[in-house]
Amino acid sequence: MLNDDSKYFSLSGDMPIGGPTTWHVTDWDQRRIISVTMDGDRYSSELPLSVYRIYVSDNGEIITKFTDAKDDQTSYVHYLSLRDVVLPDGVRTIRRDELEELDRLGPDTDLIAYPPCANESAKKVVFKYYFLWQYAPMFWKEMNLWMRLPRHPNIAPFDSVVIDELEGRIIGFVVDYIPGGNLEENTSRVFKLDWLRQLIRAVDDLNLRYGISHQDIAPRNLLVDESTDSIMLCDFNYAARMKRPTQDESESYIKERNDVKGVVFTAYEIITRDDSLRMKPHEEQILESVEQIKWEKHPAVKLDYPVEAYREVLREWQKKRKAADLTNGDTSKWIHWPPRPKPPKKTIQTTDMLGNPTSFTIDEWSERRQDVLARGGKVLNWERPPQQRLLDEGIRVLATGEIINC
């Protein structure tokens, strides 16, 4: 279930001097955007979908509900067509309306079962997607990287690329679901020394064999496949190629975020439950400082070896990595993918400083939904009922947001 603190988010707004303020609020739960004009900070999931803007009084009461499409700030995203993207051999596609939503794990991340209504016999996967155009570059990177990674015993397996049901455009991807919760939320398990060794192997393979730096190794991105007793890495949002042909705004290889450091800090954090070092900016997280301090095991943490054994494994590994990082190694298996294909272009007519007519052309990654609808275009719907209603009333929905009766 989405946690309350991450339900709402605002990418933009209007703050004229003297007010009132209007925020364009993203509701990750219902995947919709509503503009809130207010002096306070209220927003209600009870509002019908026909309301695009509300005006709230000082004491939090809604003074006006605006239902005119001109107040609709929702964007239409230009998703890439399957025709413009070459999927590697063996990568399958699945339509969004072939997925049933089971839970909302985080912004743009849902637990899914397919086929819908199959209950116990359905396959469970995690659906990562984007419905705001600003996330397109990061999505392009994460999908391209993950779908090219060869199967690895310690990386959540890629399942399929997800396309929309309107025009077959790429809107997301699904990876196998690893039940049991991540290592940050589920701290009841024994943190096995062997899991640390497996994590080290996954990081070595990513860095040295595939040329990928994960850059977000942390307990919240580690799962455990209990059927094989394996630690599983997920979330390539921050990942980057260690050498890449082009500059892309979503992908930067940052040495201060390197995965060796990520693993050492993760082990420290799991064993001691002290996250104060991790809270610091990456450049202030100094590897040597965590190596020099005593690692006091938290009384509630369960290990299958003494703390010193974990530290010894880390020390040995770091020695090996220092040597490996100095050689160029074999880069023949390094993963690459093409730059993001360009969207349609749009020409904007304007005037220059002298008042003469001029025009310029931009890539049109997004448009206002109302403008697309006004010219008879199709817009993919992302809106869905609030999760609380689904739970209270036992309602089931597809990943499209559509209610289904099984």
Contact range with ligand ADP by CB under 6 A, out of 177-185, 199-207, 340-348, 363-371: 177-185
- Nearest residue to Mg ion on Cβ basis: 235
Contact 370, 379 (CB under 8 A): no
Q: Considering only residues 215, 221, 258, 400, which one is a binding residue for Mg ion as defined by CB under 5 A?
A: 221
Contact range with ligand ADP by CB under 6 A, out of 14-22, 61-69, 170-178, 361-369: 170-178
Q: Considering only residues 29, 142, 159, 235, which one is a binding residue for Mg ion as defined by CB under 5 A?
A: 235
DSSP 8-state code for residue 207: I
- Residue numbers 46-105 binding ligand ADP by CB under 6 A: 105
Contact 243, 334 (CB under 8 A): yes
Q: Considering only residues 178, 196, 264, 335, which one is a binding residue for ligand ADP as defined by CB under 6 A?
A: 178
Does residue 156 interact with ligand ADP by CB under 6 A? yes
Distance CA 66, CA 68 (A): 6
What three-state secondary structure class fits 289?
helix
Q: Considering only residues 29, 100, 101, 235, which one is a binding residue for ligand ADP as defined by CB under 6 A?
A: 235
Query: What's the residue count for the chain?
Result: 406
Distance of CA 294 to the CA centre of its chain: 35
- Nearest residue to ligand ADP on Cβ basis: 235
DSSP 8-state code for residue 328: -
Angle CA 313–317–322, to nearest 5:
155
Contact range with Mg ion by CB under 5 A, out of 40-48, 165-173, 214-222, 329-337: 214-222
Contact 131, 125 (CB under 8 A): no
Does residue 220 interact with ligand ADP by CB under 6 A? yes
> With respect to ligand ADP, which residue has the nearer C-beta, 37 or 387?
387
Q: Provide the Cα torsion 383, 389, 393, 395; round to 10°.
A: 20
Does residue 13 interact with ligand ADP by CB under 6 A? no
The closest of 211, 215, 205 to 252, measured between CA atoms, is 215
Binding positions for ligand ADP, rule: CB under 6 A: 105-107, 109, 126, 128, 156, 175-178, 182, 220-221, 223, 234-235, 237
Binding positions for Mg ion, rule: CB under 5 A: 221, 235
